[in-house]
Amino acid sequence: MNDVVAVVAYLLQFLGFAIFARSIISWFPIDKNGPVFHALAAITDPILEPLRKVIPPLGMLDISPMVAMVVLFLLSEFLLKNRTF
Q: How many CB atoms lie within 10 A of CB 46?
A: 9
Taking CA atoms, 34 is separated from 7, 15, 19, 68, 79, in Å, by 29, 20, 17, 24, 34
The residue length of the chain stands at: 85
pTM to 2 decimal places:
0.87
pLDDT on residue 30: 83
pLDDT on residue 84: 66
pLDDT in tens, 36-57: 889 999 999 999 999 999 998 8
At residue 9, φ and ψ (nearest 5 deg) are -60, -40
Q: Which long-range contacts (CB under 8 A, 24 or more apart) does 44-48 make?
A: 44/15, 44/18, 44/19, 44/68, 47/15, 47/19, 47/72, 48/19
Instruction: Using pLDDT thresholds of 50, 70 and 90, give the confidence band for residue 85.
Output: low
